[in-house]
Structures are given as structure tokens and as C-alpha cells.
Amino acid sequence: MTIATPPCGAIQGEQGRGAVHFRGIPYAAAARFALPVRLAPWGGTRDGTRHGPIPPQPPSRLRAAMGDFVRPRDEDCLTLTIATPEADAGARPVLVFLHGGAYWTGAGSLDWYDGAVLAAENGCVVVGVNYRLGALGFLAHPAVSPANLGLADMAAALGWVQDNIAAFGGDPGRVTVVGQSAGAHAIMMLLADTASMGLFHRGVLMSAPADMAPKTAVQAAQDAEFLAEALGVAVSGLAQVPVQALLDAGLKLARAGARFADATPPFHPVDDALADPAQFVAIVAREAAARGVRLMIGTTREEMHAFFVPDPGMDAPDPGQVEACAARIAGEAGAVEAYRQRRPGATVRDVLGDLVTDAMFLRPSIALAEALTEAGGQAHVYQFDAAGAGNRFMACHCIDLPFLFGNFEAWSDAAMLEGFNPGQAQAISTRFRGAVAAFARAGEAWPRYDTADRLTMVFGTITGPVRDPAGAAWRPVFALRKES
């Protein structure tokens, strides 16, 4: 039995897989549509051997690739999970993980994100955060809810880490926030908010939809009014409807706003000042540089395959829709042909996947790295290429997560991992999580990115840095066409 005694109150953890686990630690309290409130220290010793409930949510739209999970759910869900080599005075680097799931699904306490291997083998403290999702976390309307409650939850969790993590063997002066997908986008939102200054010192952005600008207050209010109409209540009445009814109305909102080959989530942050995509990236880069927050920024090679492969409509999509999508994204329908030439013999789904991957993930991530560099900051860029032999998902969105945590047994139902040679997968995982831990420890993992060399670390069957002065084949075709 291990007991930590942070200022929040004593808590009992348990040993397992080379690390000490503390689970279900409450970091704040929040009523529906209310800001999180700091908790008073508890008396006695709290049981930290069991997880608390996860946020209410619909089924994950990526469960065909990642697998699924079953956990008790409740609106009272603001808890942390910690894995540490020892709850001592070790002052180890801290990695706070913000999960993805389109601001709509997931939880930091899922077994997928168990930090034991990462903590034990790399000498760091790993913290997983549960934050509010969907309408409960990102509804914004003056009649019922302030904006961005889910982001407020994350900030509260980071504040808790500053105050308490030393008792778990962590160094509050070396906090790296690691976010994947929506979690990476959330790091950008936190960087754009001066209120988060000092809460973290480095950031790892995995598959960030980096130019997904926040909604305007007007757009968010319209969404709230849609939910209220779907439920037959006034907007203020959303505070009282059953949570399942709110989830069902959210699914209606998602269907109403769905577009062909577009993975933009129905709920995400709101901020009028950041609502222009180019301005959003520029402001985030400027703030990160000004604070000295170094960023590791990466994408997977076939991000959109996680969304497209399970969708029967993508097996043989309508050519007109494909051309319209290309025109919307790249400015010309002919961009499809450039992508077809880049992947000879590929299906239309694969070609469209490359196009949308570049538009939603790769190109914006490169733009953020370049903007940060130009602002005087420091970026380290990677691409994750590892894929199972013959696996239709290829190197899809989320494929890098089991490699970060090194806990492949927790991903036994993940179709995206089929075809991997176990020994090779473990070797890639060791390199990848070691690089992330090295960045958390010292702010360096491989030489920094600059616009002259565009040095990019590639993790895959062959792992190593690639210099890209002229634009290698994997870079965005339409971005190079526009820049030339």
C-alpha cells in the first residue's frame, strides 16, 4: 500500500506494472453548465485504487478502428488518474494527457491511456484528465451556460497539478501537456488564453486539427437553440433535461451539420477573437513563443482512414462529391488527380483520405510549426508512419496512442493494430514514448524544425529524421501547388 499526502488530502494508491497508480482523484466539482469549483481538502485517507465515472457521452465514432469501452458514466466526473514510479520527492517530469474524441467522447481514465509503462520505463509522472464533453462541456448560450466549460475543467486540472503533483514524485516546474486530436486542439486553446500562463511548460500536439478555428458566439447560440427545439424546451430548460435526452439531441445536431468527408465535430470551443483559422494559428504560435513553451507537433500518415474505412459510403463515393470536396479544400477539383498520381493504383477512398488528411491535419500542423518558428519559438515535428501489414486502416488517426503508452494489451480489440509484428511494434513504441519523455524532461527530442530544412522525425518501419528542403512526397500536394 502506498499513501501520498498532497495538500488536497491523503490518498491511497496501489502498485502495478512497475508504477504506483492513483485513480479517481477529484480535482474540482461542477454542477451542470457551471464553472468548475476548487475542492476543499478532504479529511482522512481517500481510496485511490478505483476509477470514478467517465463523462456522459455517445458511442465513439472511431470504435471500429480503436475498439470500444464500457464504464459507468456520470456528470460528476472531474477526476484525475496518476501513474508514477514512486510517490516520493523525485521531482520527475510530468506528462498531463488530454484525450481526443472530438470534444465528445473518451476519458483520460480509460485503460487505453494507462500511464504505467510510460512512467516506469521513462522516469516520469503521467496524469490522465477527465473533462466534460459535448453539450455539457461546450454548449454556450447566455441563457444557460458560459462557453468552454470543458477547457475550464482542463485548466482546473492543471492548477491542481501545480498544487499537488510534488507529493506524487512530480516536478510542477516541468509540466508537459500531451494532447491527441481534440486534446491537442485544446492545448492550442489554452495557449491562446493568458489565464493558463504558468500551468504548463511544454506541449505535445498529436494529430491536432490545428486550423479548426473556434465557433463564434452566434454559431454556438444557434446550436443551443437547435438542441432546445429538438427537446421541446426553452434554452434555459437545457439545464434540467435528462442527460440521455441531451446526448440524443446532440446526435441530431451532428447529423444536421454533417458534410461529405468532413470530420469537424459538432461541439468544440467558442471564441470570437479566434474564429478566423489563420489568426487562430498565428495567435497560438505567438503566445507559445512569448511564454517559451516548446511544442512537439505530429500527425499520422493516413489520419482520415480511421473515419473513412468503416464508412460504406466511402467504398465508392460519388465522383461529383469527391470533386466538390477537393474544390472546397484545395480550391480546385483537379487536386484529386495530383493525389491519385502520388498513390498509384489507390482506391478513391484512399486518395480522398490523403487529401482530407493533408487539409485537416498535416498542412495546419506544419503551418503551426512554421508560425512558431517564425515567432521565435521552438518546434519539433514528427510523422507517424507505422501500420500493420495489409491493414486497411493504415497509419490512421489514433494509431500512435498505443505506441505512446506502450500498453498494447489494453488495445486487444483495436482493428487498427492488426498485422503488426509484436517485436517491431514494441521497438517503435520504445522509440516513440522515449522521444516524448525526453522532450518532457529537457525540451529536446531531435533537432528543432526550421523552414530551411523542415527536419521531421519519422516513426515507422524505418525510424529517423528526414530533411525536406524541397517538399518530400508525403507533404501536402495542394499546399505545395499553392506555394509554388
> Most distant CA pair in the chain: distance in Å?
67
C-alpha 257/C-alpha 208 separation (Å) is 21
pLDDT at site 473: 39
| Nearest in space to 91 (alpha carbons), one of 117, 123, 130 | 123
Return the amino acid letter for 236: S
Query: With pLDDT > 90 as the criterion, what percentage of the chain qualifies?
Result: 88
- Mean pLDDT over the full length of the chain: 94
Helix axes 348-357, 319-330, angle to 10 degrees: 20
Instruction: Give catalytic residue positions.
Output: 181, 303, 397
* DSSP symbols for 373-388: HHTT--EEEEEE----
Give the pLDDT score at 118: 97
Residue 464 pLDDT? 82
310-363, pLDDT tens digit by residue?
A: 999 999 999 899 999 999 888 888 888 888 888 899 999 999 999 999 999 999
Torsion sign across C-alpha atoms 149, 151, 155, 160: positive
Point out the least confidently predicted range of 37-46, 319-328, 389-398, 406-415.
Answer: 319-328
Bin 287: left if φ > 0, else alpha if -120 < ψ < 50, else beta: alpha
Q: How many CB atoms lie within 10 A of CB 222?
A: 13
Number of residues that make up the chain: 484
What is the pLDDT, as a whole number, of residue 461?
A: 85
Q: Could you give the count of Cα atoms lying within 13 Å of 69 in the half-sphere of its Cβ?
A: 25
| 158: helix, strand or coil | helix
The tens digit of pLDDT for each residue in 469-484 reads: 334 434 444 443 333 2
Model pLDDT for residues 342-351, shown as the tens digit of each residue? 889 999 999 9
Measured distance CA(128)–CA(400) in Å, rounded: 17
Please tell me whether residue 52 adopts helix, strand or coil conformation.
coil
Place of cell 515535428: 381
Q: Can you read off the three cell numbers belonging to residue 469?
A: 528542403
Domain 2-483 of CATH type 3.10.180.10: no
For the segment 402-428, the average pLDDT, to the nearest whole number, is: 97
Angle at 240 between CA 237 and CA 246, to 5 degrees: 85
Rounded to an integer, what is the distance from CA 391 to the centroid of its chain?
A: 23
Average pLDDT over residues 48-64: 97
pLDDT, tens only, 250-268: 999 999 999 999 999 999 9
At 481, phi and psi to the nearest 5? -65, -40
- Rounded mean pLDDT of 168-193? 98
**Is residue 269 a contact partner of residue 226, using CB atoms and an 8 Å limit?**
no
The pLDDT of 101-124, averaged and rounded, is 98
User: How, if at all, do strands 294-300 and 379-384 pair?
Assistant: parallel
Report helix angle 182-191 to 149-164, nearest 10.
Answer: 80
Residue ranges of domains in the chain: 2-483
Supply 16's cell numbers.
502495478
Residue 1 reports pLDDT greater than 70: yes
Question: Rounded to an integer, what distance in angstroms lies between the CA atom of residue 335 and that of residue 190?
Answer: 34
Amino acid 468: pLDDT: 61
**Residue 368 identity:** L
